[in-house]
Protein backbone atom coordinates (compact mmCIF):
# COMPACT_ATOMS: atom_id res chain seq x y z
CA UNK A 1 0.00 0.00 0.00
CA UNK A 2 1.32 3.42 -0.91
CA UNK A 3 2.27 5.76 1.91
CA UNK A 4 0.81 9.13 2.84
CA UNK A 5 3.56 11.69 3.16
CA UNK A 6 3.80 15.27 4.39
CA UNK A 7 7.13 16.87 3.50
CA UNK A 8 8.21 20.40 4.41
CA UNK A 9 10.35 22.34 1.95
CA UNK A 10 12.11 25.05 3.96
CA UNK A 11 13.66 26.56 0.80
CA UNK A 12 16.30 29.23 1.62
CA UNK A 13 14.83 30.12 5.01
CA UNK A 14 15.97 29.90 8.65
CA UNK A 15 19.42 30.44 10.15
CA UNK A 16 21.12 27.74 12.20
CA UNK A 17 19.39 28.54 15.50
CA UNK A 18 15.99 28.85 13.89
CA UNK A 19 16.45 25.58 11.99
CA UNK A 20 17.46 23.73 15.15
CA UNK A 21 14.62 25.27 17.18
CA UNK A 22 12.06 24.22 14.57
CA UNK A 23 13.51 20.70 14.35
CA UNK A 24 13.51 20.34 18.13
CA UNK A 25 9.89 21.50 18.28
CA UNK A 26 8.89 19.01 15.60
CA UNK A 27 10.71 16.17 17.36
CA UNK A 28 8.95 17.08 20.62
CA UNK A 29 5.54 17.30 18.99
CA UNK A 30 5.57 14.41 16.53
CA UNK A 31 4.28 11.27 18.20
CA UNK A 32 4.37 7.77 16.82
CA UNK A 33 3.27 7.67 13.23
CA UNK A 34 1.04 4.96 11.84
CA UNK A 35 2.82 2.53 9.51
CA UNK A 36 1.32 4.12 6.39
CA UNK A 37 2.40 7.70 7.16
CA UNK A 38 5.70 9.56 6.71
CA UNK A 39 6.79 13.06 7.74
CA UNK A 40 9.87 14.76 6.34
CA UNK A 41 11.61 18.13 6.39
CA UNK A 42 13.92 19.36 3.64
CA UNK A 43 16.23 22.03 5.09
CA UNK A 44 18.86 24.05 3.22
CA UNK A 45 21.91 21.83 2.68
CA UNK A 46 24.07 23.73 5.16
CA UNK A 47 21.71 22.66 7.96
CA UNK A 48 21.36 19.01 6.93
CA UNK A 49 23.98 17.62 9.27
CA UNK A 50 22.61 19.28 12.41
CA UNK A 51 18.96 18.70 11.49
CA UNK A 52 19.66 15.00 10.89
CA UNK A 53 21.30 14.80 14.30
CA UNK A 54 18.33 16.38 16.10
CA UNK A 55 15.78 14.42 14.04
CA UNK A 56 17.48 11.16 14.99
CA UNK A 57 15.94 11.70 18.44
CA UNK A 58 12.47 11.19 16.96
CA UNK A 59 10.88 8.00 15.73
CA UNK A 60 9.32 9.39 12.61
CA UNK A 61 10.93 12.61 11.39
CA UNK A 62 12.83 12.08 8.13
CA UNK A 63 15.20 14.57 6.54
CA UNK A 64 15.58 15.18 2.81
CA UNK A 65 17.75 17.38 0.62
CA UNK A 66 16.37 20.15 -1.59
CA UNK A 67 18.63 19.39 -4.55
CA UNK A 68 21.71 17.45 -5.63
CA UNK A 69 24.11 17.50 -8.56
CA UNK A 70 24.03 14.80 -11.21
CA UNK A 71 27.79 14.14 -11.07
CA UNK A 72 29.36 11.96 -8.41
CA UNK A 73 32.05 14.52 -7.55
CA UNK A 74 34.22 17.11 -9.26
CA UNK A 75 34.73 20.76 -10.09
CA UNK A 76 31.17 22.02 -9.51
CA UNK A 77 31.61 24.88 -7.07
CA UNK A 78 28.71 25.33 -4.70
CA UNK A 79 27.03 22.02 -5.49
CA UNK A 80 26.45 18.91 -3.40
CA UNK A 81 26.46 15.28 -4.52
CA UNK A 82 24.35 12.27 -3.72
CA UNK A 83 27.30 10.68 -1.93
CA UNK A 84 27.50 13.72 0.35
CA UNK A 85 23.79 13.50 1.17
CA UNK A 86 24.13 9.79 1.89
CA UNK A 87 27.14 10.34 4.12
CA UNK A 88 24.97 12.52 6.38
CA UNK A 89 22.19 9.95 6.52
CA UNK A 90 19.97 11.82 4.05
CA UNK A 91 18.05 9.28 2.00
CA UNK A 92 15.61 11.45 0.04
CA UNK A 93 15.96 14.49 -2.21
CA UNK A 94 13.62 16.94 -3.92
CA UNK A 95 14.34 17.20 -7.62
CA UNK A 96 12.77 19.47 -10.21
CA UNK A 97 11.19 22.01 -7.87
CA UNK A 98 9.67 24.80 -9.98
CA UNK A 99 12.06 27.33 -8.42
CA UNK A 100 15.02 25.22 -9.61
CA UNK A 101 13.43 24.91 -13.03
CA UNK A 102 12.74 28.67 -13.26
CA UNK A 103 15.83 30.23 -11.63
CA UNK A 104 18.48 27.58 -12.27
CA UNK A 105 17.27 26.44 -15.69
CA UNK A 106 16.78 22.79 -14.74
CA UNK A 107 14.91 21.04 -17.53
CA UNK A 108 13.50 17.55 -17.91
CA UNK A 109 16.63 16.17 -19.55
CA UNK A 110 18.93 17.44 -16.77
CA UNK A 111 16.45 16.13 -14.22
CA UNK A 112 16.58 12.72 -15.84
CA UNK A 113 20.32 12.68 -15.11
CA UNK A 114 19.76 13.80 -11.54
CA UNK A 115 17.07 11.15 -11.03
CA UNK A 116 19.48 8.46 -12.23
CA UNK A 117 22.28 9.75 -10.03
CA UNK A 118 20.06 9.81 -6.94
CA UNK A 119 18.57 6.35 -7.51
CA UNK A 120 22.03 4.91 -8.18
CA UNK A 121 23.04 6.16 -4.72
CA UNK A 122 19.93 4.63 -3.13
CA UNK A 123 18.43 8.07 -2.56
CA UNK A 124 14.66 8.38 -2.90
CA UNK A 125 13.60 11.00 -5.44
CA UNK A 126 10.72 13.34 -4.71
CA UNK A 127 10.14 14.55 -8.25
CA UNK A 128 8.39 17.93 -8.44
CA UNK A 129 6.54 19.07 -11.53
CA UNK A 130 3.51 21.10 -12.58
CA UNK A 131 2.25 23.61 -15.09
CA UNK A 132 2.53 27.39 -15.08
CA UNK A 133 -0.59 29.56 -15.11
CA UNK A 134 -0.45 30.24 -18.84
CA UNK A 135 -0.38 26.50 -19.56
CA UNK A 136 -3.46 25.93 -17.40
CA UNK A 137 -5.25 28.83 -19.03
CA UNK A 138 -4.53 27.60 -22.54
CA UNK A 139 -5.45 24.07 -21.45
CA UNK A 140 -2.12 22.43 -22.19
CA UNK A 141 -1.59 21.51 -18.52
CA UNK A 142 -2.27 17.80 -18.93
CA UNK A 143 0.21 17.56 -21.82
CA UNK A 144 2.85 19.60 -19.97
CA UNK A 145 2.60 17.39 -16.91
CA UNK A 146 2.72 14.22 -19.02
CA UNK A 147 5.91 15.44 -20.72
CA UNK A 148 7.53 16.41 -17.42
CA UNK A 149 6.90 12.87 -16.21
CA UNK A 150 7.86 11.01 -19.36
CA UNK A 151 11.02 12.94 -20.21
CA UNK A 152 12.56 12.70 -16.75
CA UNK A 153 11.24 9.39 -15.45
CA UNK A 154 9.87 7.02 -18.06
CA UNK A 155 13.22 5.46 -18.87
CA UNK A 156 13.08 3.85 -15.40
CA UNK A 157 12.32 0.17 -14.88
CA UNK A 158 9.07 -0.54 -13.04
CA UNK A 159 11.06 -1.79 -10.03
CA UNK A 160 12.82 1.58 -9.72
CA UNK A 161 9.54 3.35 -8.96
CA UNK A 162 9.90 2.06 -5.39
CA UNK A 163 12.39 4.88 -5.01
CA UNK A 164 10.23 7.64 -6.51
CA UNK A 165 7.59 9.91 -4.98
CA UNK A 166 5.79 12.41 -7.21
CA UNK A 167 4.92 15.94 -6.10
CA UNK A 168 2.46 17.69 -8.41
CA UNK A 169 2.85 21.40 -7.79
CA UNK A 170 0.98 23.78 -10.10
CA UNK A 171 3.37 26.72 -10.28
CA UNK A 172 0.54 29.24 -10.05
CA UNK A 173 -0.30 27.87 -6.60
CA UNK A 174 3.20 27.90 -5.07
CA UNK A 175 3.69 30.63 -2.50
CA UNK A 176 0.76 32.58 -3.95
CA UNK A 177 -1.95 31.70 -1.44
CA UNK A 178 -3.94 30.47 -4.44
CA UNK A 179 -4.57 26.73 -4.08
CA UNK A 180 -5.83 24.26 -6.64
CA UNK A 181 -9.32 23.22 -5.62
CA UNK A 182 -9.56 19.66 -4.26
CA UNK A 183 -11.31 18.75 -7.53
CA UNK A 184 -8.53 20.27 -9.66
CA UNK A 185 -5.91 18.43 -7.59
CA UNK A 186 -7.77 15.13 -7.85
CA UNK A 187 -8.32 15.56 -11.59
CA UNK A 188 -4.59 16.05 -12.22
CA UNK A 189 -3.50 13.33 -9.78
CA UNK A 190 -5.84 10.86 -11.48
CA UNK A 191 -4.36 11.90 -14.84
CA UNK A 192 -0.84 11.33 -13.51
CA UNK A 193 -1.76 7.90 -12.19
CA UNK A 194 -3.37 6.96 -15.50
CA UNK A 195 -0.25 8.03 -17.44
CA UNK A 196 1.77 5.83 -15.08
CA UNK A 197 -0.68 2.95 -15.51
CA UNK A 198 -0.48 3.14 -19.31
CA UNK A 199 3.28 2.53 -19.25
CA UNK A 200 3.90 0.58 -16.06
CA UNK A 201 0.59 -1.13 -15.25
CA UNK A 202 -1.82 -0.78 -12.35
CA UNK A 203 0.27 -2.43 -9.66
CA UNK A 204 3.18 -0.07 -10.16
CA UNK A 205 0.98 3.05 -10.58
CA UNK A 206 -1.06 2.24 -7.48
CA UNK A 207 2.11 1.97 -5.41
CA UNK A 208 3.41 5.49 -6.19
CA UNK A 209 2.63 8.25 -3.68
CA UNK A 210 1.55 11.45 -5.44
CA UNK A 211 1.78 14.55 -3.23
CA UNK A 212 0.08 17.86 -3.91
CA UNK A 213 2.01 21.11 -3.36
CA UNK A 214 0.89 24.71 -3.63
CA UNK A 215 -0.29 26.85 -0.71
CA UNK A 216 -1.39 23.93 1.46
CA UNK A 217 -2.36 25.35 4.86
CA UNK A 218 -3.96 23.96 8.02
CA UNK A 219 -7.40 25.09 6.86
CA UNK A 220 -7.35 23.44 3.41
CA UNK A 221 -5.13 20.38 3.98
CA UNK A 222 -7.84 17.95 5.09
CA UNK A 223 -10.04 18.51 2.05
CA UNK A 224 -7.14 18.25 -0.40
CA UNK A 225 -5.68 15.16 1.29
CA UNK A 226 -9.07 13.43 1.32
CA UNK A 227 -9.05 13.12 -2.48
CA UNK A 228 -8.49 9.49 -3.51
CA UNK A 229 -5.35 10.09 -5.60
CA UNK A 230 -3.78 12.71 -3.30
CA UNK A 231 -1.33 10.99 -0.97
CA UNK A 232 -0.25 13.96 1.14
CA UNK A 233 1.54 17.21 0.44
CA UNK A 234 4.74 19.09 -0.17
CA UNK A 235 4.52 22.16 2.01
CA UNK A 236 6.49 25.38 1.61
CA UNK A 237 5.54 28.42 3.72
CA UNK A 238 3.42 26.52 6.23
CA UNK A 239 6.30 24.14 7.02
CA UNK A 240 8.22 26.91 8.77
CA UNK A 241 5.90 27.04 11.78
CA UNK A 242 5.57 24.02 14.05
CA UNK A 243 1.89 24.61 14.74
CA UNK A 244 0.93 24.94 11.07
CA UNK A 245 3.09 22.05 9.91
CA UNK A 246 1.81 19.75 12.63
CA UNK A 247 -1.80 20.69 11.83
CA UNK A 248 -1.11 19.69 8.22
CA UNK A 249 0.50 16.42 9.37
CA UNK A 250 -2.62 15.77 11.45
CA UNK A 251 -4.76 16.22 8.31
CA UNK A 252 -3.24 13.05 6.81
CA UNK A 253 -5.47 10.10 7.44
C1 LIG B 1 6.69 24.50 -2.43
O2 LIG B 1 7.55 25.35 -2.56
O3 LIG B 1 6.95 23.32 -2.72
C4 LIG B 1 5.38 24.92 -1.96
C5 LIG B 1 4.38 24.09 -2.13
O6 LIG B 1 5.28 26.15 -1.39
P7 LIG B 1 3.98 26.80 -0.68
O8 LIG B 1 3.38 25.74 0.20
O9 LIG B 1 4.50 27.96 0.10
O10 LIG B 1 3.06 27.20 -1.77
Question: 24-28, 29-33, 62-66, 145-149: lowest mean pLDDT where?
Answer: 29-33
pLDDT of the residue at 135: 97
Q: Would you name the residues annotated as active-site residues?
A: 97, 169
Q: What is the pLDDT of residue 184?
A: 97
Whether residue 25 has pLDDT greater than 90: yes
Q: Looking at the predicted structure, is the pLDDT value of residue 87 above 90?
A: yes
pLDDT, mean over the chain: 97
How many angstroms is it from 174 CA to the middle of ligand 1?
A: 5
- Name the DSSP letter for residue 214: S
Say which CATH architecture domain 4-250 belongs to. Answer: Alpha-Beta Barrel (3.20)
Does 177 score more than 90 pLDDT? no
- State the pLDDT confidence band at 175, using cuts at 50, 70 and 90: confident
Domains of the chain by residue range: 4-250
57: pLDDT strictly greater than 90: no
Whether 192 shows a pLDDT value over 90: the answer reads yes
Alpha carbon separation from 152 to 117, 158, 160, 250 (Å, rounded)? 12, 14, 13, 32
What is the separation of C-alpha 96 from the centre of its chain, rounded to a whole number of angstroms? Answer: 9
Mean pLDDT to the nearest integer, 4-28: 98
Q: Which pLDDT tens digit goes with each residue over 92-146?
A: 999 999 999 999 999 999 999 999 999 999 999 999 999 999 999 999 999 999 9
What is the residue with the minimal CA distance to atom 6 of ligand 1? 236
Instruction: Report CA(214)–ligand 1 centroid distance (Å).
Output: 5
Q: Name the residue at shortest CA distance from atom 8 of ligand 1.
A: 236
pLDDT confidence of residue 1: 83
- The reported pTM is 0.97
Distance CA 178, CA 193 (A): 24
Q: Is the CB of 237 under 6 A from ligand 1?
A: yes
State the DSSP H helix or E strand holding residue 85, giving kind and residue range, or none if neither.
helix 82-87
Q: Is 215 in the pocket of ligand 1 (CB under 6 A)?
A: yes
- Lowest average pLDDT, out of 59-63, 205-209, 238-242, goes to 59-63
The answer to whether the CB of 204 is under 6 A from ligand 1 is no
Amino acid sequence: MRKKIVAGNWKMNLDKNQALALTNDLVDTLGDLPEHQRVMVCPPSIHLSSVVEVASGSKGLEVGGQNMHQAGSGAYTGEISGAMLKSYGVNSVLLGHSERRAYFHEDNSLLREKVDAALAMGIEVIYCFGEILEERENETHFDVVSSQLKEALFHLEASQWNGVVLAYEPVWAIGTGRTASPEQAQEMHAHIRSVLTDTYGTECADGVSILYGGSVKPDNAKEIFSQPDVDGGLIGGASLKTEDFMAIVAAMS
